A and B are shown apart, each in its own frame.
Chain A
Amino acid sequence: MTASTRRTVLSLYMRVFRIARNWQAQIGVVGDIETEKKYILHEASTLFRQNQQLTDPETIKRCVEECEARIEMGLHYRNPYPRAMHLPPLGLATQKGRKLRAQQRLRKQAKPVYLQSHDDS
Protein backbone atom coordinates (compact mmCIF):
# COMPACT_ATOMS: atom_id res chain seq x y z
CA MET A 1 0.00 0.00 0.00
CA THR A 2 1.58 3.25 -1.09
CA ALA A 3 1.68 6.39 0.99
CA SER A 4 -0.89 8.21 -1.12
CA THR A 5 -3.50 5.46 -0.85
CA ARG A 6 -2.84 5.28 2.85
CA ARG A 7 -3.46 8.98 3.18
CA THR A 8 -6.66 8.75 1.10
CA VAL A 9 -7.96 5.92 3.22
CA LEU A 10 -7.19 7.72 6.47
CA SER A 11 -8.76 10.96 5.30
CA LEU A 12 -11.87 9.02 4.24
CA TYR A 13 -12.01 7.50 7.70
CA MET A 14 -11.76 10.96 9.25
CA ARG A 15 -14.45 12.24 6.94
CA VAL A 16 -16.84 9.51 8.01
CA PHE A 17 -16.17 10.37 11.65
CA ARG A 18 -16.86 14.04 11.06
CA ILE A 19 -20.09 13.18 9.29
CA ALA A 20 -21.13 11.02 12.21
CA ARG A 21 -20.42 13.87 14.59
CA ASN A 22 -22.76 16.28 12.81
CA TRP A 23 -25.39 13.78 11.86
CA GLN A 24 -29.00 14.95 11.68
CA ALA A 25 -31.41 12.14 11.06
CA GLN A 26 -34.50 12.55 8.98
CA ILE A 27 -37.71 13.49 10.72
CA GLY A 28 -38.21 10.98 13.46
CA VAL A 29 -37.66 10.30 17.13
CA VAL A 30 -34.63 11.98 18.67
CA GLY A 31 -33.26 8.62 19.75
CA ASP A 32 -32.78 7.80 16.08
CA ILE A 33 -29.91 10.25 15.74
CA GLU A 34 -27.91 8.44 18.40
CA THR A 35 -28.63 5.00 16.96
CA GLU A 36 -27.65 6.13 13.49
CA LYS A 37 -24.47 7.79 14.75
CA LYS A 38 -23.46 4.63 16.53
CA TYR A 39 -24.29 2.62 13.47
CA ILE A 40 -22.14 4.82 11.25
CA LEU A 41 -19.15 4.60 13.58
CA HIS A 42 -19.51 0.88 14.11
CA GLU A 43 -19.97 0.16 10.43
CA ALA A 44 -16.99 2.28 9.45
CA SER A 45 -14.66 0.69 11.94
CA THR A 46 -15.74 -2.88 11.08
CA LEU A 47 -15.54 -2.46 7.32
CA PHE A 48 -12.26 -0.56 7.39
CA ARG A 49 -10.67 -3.17 9.60
CA GLN A 50 -12.06 -6.00 7.55
CA ASN A 51 -10.38 -4.62 4.44
CA GLN A 52 -7.26 -3.50 6.23
CA GLN A 53 -5.00 -6.21 4.90
CA LEU A 54 -5.71 -5.84 1.20
CA THR A 55 -2.70 -5.22 -0.99
CA ASP A 56 -4.06 -5.37 -4.52
CA PRO A 57 -4.40 -1.78 -5.85
CA GLU A 58 -7.51 -2.64 -7.86
CA THR A 59 -9.35 -3.96 -4.81
CA ILE A 60 -8.18 -1.02 -2.75
CA LYS A 61 -9.49 1.38 -5.37
CA ARG A 62 -12.83 -0.43 -5.39
CA CYS A 63 -13.06 -0.22 -1.62
CA VAL A 64 -12.29 3.48 -1.72
CA GLU A 65 -15.03 3.94 -4.30
CA GLU A 66 -17.37 1.94 -2.13
CA CYS A 67 -16.67 4.20 0.82
CA GLU A 68 -17.20 7.35 -1.22
CA ALA A 69 -20.42 5.96 -2.72
CA ARG A 70 -21.80 5.17 0.70
CA ILE A 71 -20.85 8.60 2.02
CA GLU A 72 -22.58 10.34 -0.90
CA MET A 73 -25.68 8.20 -0.68
CA GLY A 74 -25.87 8.52 3.06
CA LEU A 75 -25.67 12.29 2.84
CA HIS A 76 -28.12 12.50 -0.02
CA TYR A 77 -30.85 10.30 1.39
CA ARG A 78 -30.06 11.13 5.03
CA ASN A 79 -29.95 7.40 5.61
CA PRO A 80 -26.73 5.65 6.65
CA TYR A 81 -27.89 2.13 5.95
CA PRO A 82 -26.85 0.63 2.62
CA ARG A 83 -29.47 0.70 -0.05
CA ALA A 84 -31.02 -2.69 -0.65
CA MET A 85 -30.25 -4.43 -3.88
CA HIS A 86 -32.73 -6.07 -6.17
CA LEU A 87 -32.10 -9.64 -7.14
CA PRO A 88 -31.38 -9.97 -10.84
CA PRO A 89 -33.92 -11.95 -12.82
CA LEU A 90 -33.26 -15.70 -12.47
CA GLY A 91 -30.86 -14.84 -9.73
CA LEU A 92 -32.01 -17.24 -7.07
CA ALA A 93 -30.89 -20.82 -7.03
CA THR A 94 -33.22 -23.48 -8.36
CA GLN A 95 -33.36 -27.11 -7.35
CA LYS A 96 -30.84 -28.22 -9.96
CA GLY A 97 -27.21 -27.77 -8.84
CA ARG A 98 -25.93 -26.90 -12.30
CA LYS A 99 -27.52 -23.51 -12.32
CA LEU A 100 -25.91 -22.52 -9.01
CA ARG A 101 -22.73 -21.18 -10.49
CA ALA A 102 -24.56 -19.18 -13.12
CA GLN A 103 -26.76 -17.73 -10.41
CA GLN A 104 -23.75 -16.80 -8.33
CA ARG A 105 -22.07 -15.16 -11.26
CA LEU A 106 -25.21 -13.19 -12.05
CA ARG A 107 -25.54 -12.04 -8.47
CA LYS A 108 -21.92 -11.07 -8.23
CA GLN A 109 -22.16 -9.09 -11.43
CA ALA A 110 -25.27 -7.28 -10.28
CA LYS A 111 -23.83 -6.33 -6.91
CA PRO A 112 -23.50 -2.54 -6.74
CA VAL A 113 -20.24 -0.91 -5.74
CA TYR A 114 -21.47 0.25 -2.35
CA LEU A 115 -22.21 -3.28 -1.24
CA GLN A 116 -18.85 -4.78 -2.14
CA SER A 117 -17.64 -5.33 1.38
CA HIS A 118 -20.88 -6.89 2.46
CA ASP A 119 -20.91 -10.55 2.16
CA ASP A 120 -24.27 -12.17 1.55
CA SER A 121 -24.16 -15.80 0.67
Chain B
Amino acid sequence: MAARVLQHCVRTLRLSSGPLALRAAVVPAAPLHRALSFYSADRRTRCVNRFPSLDVLCRQYGHLPPLTLESIEERVLYVLKLYDKINPEKLQATSHFMKDLGLDSLDQVEIIMAMEDEFGFEIPDGEAEKLMTPDEIVQYIADKKDIYE
Protein backbone atom coordinates (compact mmCIF):
# COMPACT_ATOMS: atom_id res chain seq x y z
CA MET B 1 0.00 0.00 0.00
CA ALA B 2 2.75 2.42 0.91
CA ALA B 3 4.73 1.36 -2.14
CA ARG B 4 1.78 2.07 -4.42
CA VAL B 5 1.24 5.49 -2.88
CA LEU B 6 4.91 6.22 -3.40
CA GLN B 7 4.68 5.13 -7.03
CA HIS B 8 1.70 7.38 -7.65
CA CYS B 9 3.44 10.27 -5.94
CA VAL B 10 6.57 9.84 -8.03
CA ARG B 11 4.56 9.66 -11.22
CA THR B 12 2.38 12.67 -10.49
CA LEU B 13 5.26 14.76 -9.21
CA ARG B 14 7.39 13.98 -12.25
CA LEU B 15 4.48 14.67 -14.55
CA SER B 16 3.46 17.88 -12.86
CA SER B 17 7.02 19.09 -13.12
CA GLY B 18 7.07 18.33 -16.86
CA PRO B 19 5.78 20.76 -19.48
CA LEU B 20 2.86 18.58 -20.58
CA ALA B 21 -0.06 18.18 -18.24
CA LEU B 22 -0.99 14.54 -18.55
CA ARG B 23 -4.38 14.42 -16.97
CA ALA B 24 -4.63 10.67 -17.09
CA ALA B 25 -2.11 10.24 -14.32
CA VAL B 26 -3.49 13.07 -12.23
CA VAL B 27 -6.99 11.58 -12.05
CA PRO B 28 -5.98 8.48 -10.12
CA ALA B 29 -4.03 10.72 -7.77
CA ALA B 30 -7.21 12.54 -6.73
CA PRO B 31 -8.18 10.04 -4.04
CA LEU B 32 -4.61 10.21 -2.80
CA HIS B 33 -4.73 13.91 -2.09
CA ARG B 34 -4.25 13.41 1.59
CA ALA B 35 -1.33 11.10 1.10
CA LEU B 36 0.18 13.43 -1.49
CA SER B 37 0.26 16.42 0.80
CA PHE B 38 1.74 14.29 3.53
CA TYR B 39 4.47 12.84 1.36
CA SER B 40 5.18 15.64 -1.05
CA ALA B 41 7.15 17.76 1.34
CA ASP B 42 9.80 15.18 2.11
CA ARG B 43 9.60 13.21 -1.18
CA ARG B 44 10.04 16.00 -3.65
CA THR B 45 13.72 16.56 -3.28
CA ARG B 46 14.35 12.86 -2.86
CA CYS B 47 12.40 12.03 -6.05
CA VAL B 48 14.25 14.55 -8.13
CA ASN B 49 17.59 13.23 -6.88
CA ARG B 50 16.80 9.58 -7.37
CA PHE B 51 15.43 9.74 -10.89
CA PRO B 52 17.36 12.36 -12.76
CA SER B 53 17.58 10.28 -15.92
CA LEU B 54 13.85 9.54 -16.14
CA ASP B 55 13.03 12.21 -18.66
CA VAL B 56 10.68 10.17 -20.77
CA LEU B 57 7.08 10.81 -19.75
CA CYS B 58 4.98 7.90 -20.73
CA ARG B 59 1.48 6.73 -20.02
CA GLN B 60 1.06 3.28 -18.65
CA TYR B 61 -1.81 1.15 -19.86
CA GLY B 62 -2.68 -2.38 -18.96
CA HIS B 63 -3.04 -4.64 -21.99
CA LEU B 64 -2.07 -8.09 -23.18
CA PRO B 65 1.23 -8.51 -25.03
CA PRO B 66 0.81 -8.11 -28.82
CA LEU B 67 -0.01 -11.30 -30.70
CA THR B 68 2.27 -12.64 -33.39
CA LEU B 69 1.64 -15.39 -35.91
CA GLU B 70 4.05 -17.70 -34.12
CA SER B 71 2.48 -17.16 -30.73
CA ILE B 72 -1.00 -17.81 -32.13
CA GLU B 73 0.14 -20.99 -33.79
CA GLU B 74 1.86 -22.11 -30.61
CA ARG B 75 -1.24 -21.54 -28.54
CA VAL B 76 -3.53 -23.26 -31.03
CA LEU B 77 -1.31 -26.34 -31.15
CA TYR B 78 -1.03 -26.35 -27.37
CA VAL B 79 -4.79 -26.33 -26.94
CA LEU B 80 -5.13 -29.10 -29.50
CA LYS B 81 -2.55 -31.21 -27.74
CA LEU B 82 -4.50 -30.87 -24.52
CA TYR B 83 -7.65 -32.17 -26.21
CA ASP B 84 -7.99 -35.79 -25.25
CA LYS B 85 -9.32 -37.15 -28.54
CA ILE B 86 -6.29 -36.00 -30.49
CA ASN B 87 -3.07 -37.99 -30.54
CA PRO B 88 -0.34 -35.39 -29.92
CA GLU B 89 2.24 -37.24 -31.99
CA LYS B 90 0.12 -37.19 -35.10
CA LEU B 91 -0.77 -33.53 -34.76
CA GLN B 92 0.75 -31.10 -37.23
CA ALA B 93 -0.16 -27.66 -38.44
CA THR B 94 -1.69 -29.03 -41.61
CA SER B 95 -3.47 -32.09 -40.29
CA HIS B 96 -7.13 -32.08 -41.24
CA PHE B 97 -9.45 -32.79 -38.31
CA MET B 98 -11.77 -35.14 -40.11
CA LYS B 99 -9.50 -36.82 -42.65
CA ASP B 100 -6.19 -37.10 -40.79
CA LEU B 101 -7.17 -37.09 -37.15
CA GLY B 102 -10.44 -38.97 -37.48
CA LEU B 103 -12.62 -36.55 -35.55
CA ASP B 104 -16.24 -35.83 -36.35
CA SER B 105 -18.17 -32.59 -36.62
CA LEU B 106 -19.18 -32.56 -32.96
CA ASP B 107 -15.52 -32.76 -31.98
CA GLN B 108 -14.74 -29.96 -34.38
CA VAL B 109 -17.37 -27.80 -32.65
CA GLU B 110 -15.75 -28.57 -29.29
CA ILE B 111 -12.34 -27.61 -30.65
CA ILE B 112 -13.65 -24.29 -31.97
CA MET B 113 -15.23 -23.61 -28.58
CA ALA B 114 -11.88 -24.27 -26.91
CA MET B 115 -10.26 -21.79 -29.29
CA GLU B 116 -12.89 -19.21 -28.45
CA ASP B 117 -12.14 -19.68 -24.76
CA GLU B 118 -8.41 -19.43 -25.32
CA PHE B 119 -8.42 -16.26 -27.40
CA GLY B 120 -11.37 -14.62 -25.73
CA PHE B 121 -13.50 -13.64 -28.74
CA GLU B 122 -16.54 -15.24 -30.34
CA ILE B 123 -16.44 -17.12 -33.61
CA PRO B 124 -19.81 -17.16 -35.41
CA ASP B 125 -21.37 -20.44 -36.54
CA GLY B 126 -21.09 -20.02 -40.27
CA GLU B 127 -17.36 -19.48 -40.22
CA ALA B 128 -16.66 -21.93 -37.44
CA GLU B 129 -17.77 -24.95 -39.43
CA LYS B 130 -15.32 -24.15 -42.24
CA LEU B 131 -12.20 -24.25 -40.07
CA MET B 132 -10.84 -27.73 -40.57
CA THR B 133 -7.10 -27.55 -39.96
CA PRO B 134 -4.99 -25.77 -37.31
CA ASP B 135 -3.53 -23.63 -40.11
CA GLU B 136 -6.94 -22.34 -41.08
CA ILE B 137 -7.72 -21.52 -37.46
CA VAL B 138 -4.47 -19.55 -37.16
CA GLN B 139 -5.25 -17.69 -40.40
CA TYR B 140 -8.76 -16.85 -39.23
CA ILE B 141 -7.60 -15.55 -35.86
CA ALA B 142 -4.86 -13.50 -37.51
CA ASP B 143 -7.46 -12.01 -39.85
CA LYS B 144 -9.76 -11.15 -37.02
CA LYS B 145 -7.06 -9.59 -34.91
CA ASP B 146 -5.39 -7.78 -37.83
CA ILE B 147 -2.01 -9.33 -37.45
CA TYR B 148 0.31 -9.29 -40.42
CA GLU B 149 3.63 -10.97 -40.99
A binding-site residues for B, Cβ under 8 Å = 6-7, 10-11, 13-14, 17-18, 21, 45, 48-49, 52
What separation, in Å, do the CA atoms of A50 and B104 have in the docked complex?
Answer: 13
In the complex, B129 has a CB within 8 A of chain A: yes
Query: Which residues of chain A are near B109, meaning CB under 8 Å?
Result: 10, 13-14, 17
- Complex contacts, A45 vs chain B, CB 8 Å: 106, 110
Partner of B117 from the list A6, A21, A52 (CB cut-off 8 Å) is: A21
> A52–B106 contact, CB under 8 A?
yes
Binding site for A on B (CB under 8 A): 104-106, 109-110, 112-113, 117, 125, 128-129
| Nearest CB of chain B from residue A37's CB, rounded to whole Å | 12
Known: A7-B129, A14-B125. A48 touches B106 (CB 8 A): yes
**Contact between chains at A6 and B113 (CB < 8 Å):** no
* Contact B105 A10, beta carbon cutoff 8 Å: yes
Contact (Cβ within 8 A) B125 A10: yes
Bound together, the chains give a CA A18 to CA B124 distance in angstroms of 11
B19 to chain A, nearest CB (A): 48
Residues of B within 8 Å of A18, CB to CB, are 113
- CA–CA, A68 and B112, complex, Å: 21
- Decide yes or no: A17 and B113 within 8 Å by CB, A7-B129, A10-B125 being known contacts: yes
**Complex CA–CA separation, A48 to B107 (angstroms):** 11
Find chain B residues with CB under 8 A from A14 CB: 109, 112-113, 125, 128
A45 CA / B110 CA spacing, docked (Å): 9
Given A17-B110, A21-B117, CB of A6 within 8 Å of CB of B105: yes
Bound together, the chains give a CA A17 to CA B123 distance in angstroms of: 13
Bound complex: CA of A14 vs CA of B110, how far in Å?
A: 8
The 6 A-B residue pairs with the shortest CB-CB distance in the complex, in nearest-first order: A17-B113, A11-B125, A13-B109, A14-B109, A10-B109, A48-B106
CA A75 – CA B105 in complex, angstroms?
A: 25
Residues of A within 8 A of B112 (CB): 14
Cα–Cα distance between A49 and B106 once the two chains are bound (Å)? 8
Interface centre among B104, B109, B112 (most CB of A within 10 A): B109
Residue of B nearest to A17 (CB): B113
Residues of B within 8 A of A10 (CB): 105-106, 109, 125, 129
Could you say which residues of chain A place their CB within 8 Å of the CB of B125? 7, 10-11, 14
**Closest residue to B105 on the A side, CB-wise?**
A10
Instruction: Return chain A residues, CB-CB under 8 Å to B128.
Output: 14
Q: How far is the CA of A7 from the CA of B129 in the complex (A)?
A: 9
